Amino acid sequence: MPLTHGDITLRELSKRDNTVLRRLLIEDRDWLVPWEATTPGIRYPLDVKGMVRSLIQQARAGSGLALVIEYQGQVVGQLNVANILYGSVCSGTVGYWIAKQAAGKSIVPISVAMTIDHLFDQGGLHRVEIDIRPENEASLRVVQKLGLRQEGKKERFIHINGAWRDHLVFAVTREEMTGSMLSRVQNAGKL
């Protein structure tokens, strides 16, 4: 698989990524904690090995896609597609994070665009969704650059940083696409 555009590569997550992901997640705790999912009533140390193992199992089962984001050959973040369903639904939900030092370089919009193109062209999906906290201005800019449609709000949807948080829902379907998501963004001059 890898997906590549310029200096950006998305490749499958592997167990060997534990060390670099753990380092990035620890270095950028203050940057990432406001957006990371938590479990109500449980405080536990960062378990990157467990997270990687779970994401790889979901990918093997076909219910997820676990990718590492590389910029100029260095791991700078992660992109996951969760809740992949086929049959009458054919959809998945994209989530991502990026290291603070790599933010603001259009890495995430390009990565998400490549992923959506892959999900529609090779993954057989019909709909892709991204759920974003209303306060997450950086992620809101990503869906604006991609031209995703806002569908509404899921109230108290995901437990994050100690409380149930609302999320805005953005989506795109195969019928809305003319050309690729990547070319759509590039042609609009949004990257």
Q: Any idea how long the chain is?
A: 191
The predicted model scores a pTM of 0.94
Q: Give residue 50's domain range.
A: 3-187
pLDDT of 13: 97
Q: What percent of the chain has pLDDT over 90?
A: 82
Split into its structural domains, the chain has a count of 1
pLDDT tens-digit map of 123-146: 999 999 999 999 999 999 999 999
Alpha-carbon Rg for the chain in angstroms: 16
Q: What is the mean pLDDT of residues 165-171?
A: 98
User: Which string of b and e fits 50-87 if b means at least 16 CB within 10 Å?
Assistant: ebbeebbebbeeeebbbbbbbbeeebbbbbbbbebeee
The DSSP string of 2-34 is -EEETTEEEEE--GGGHHHHHHHHHHTHHHHGG
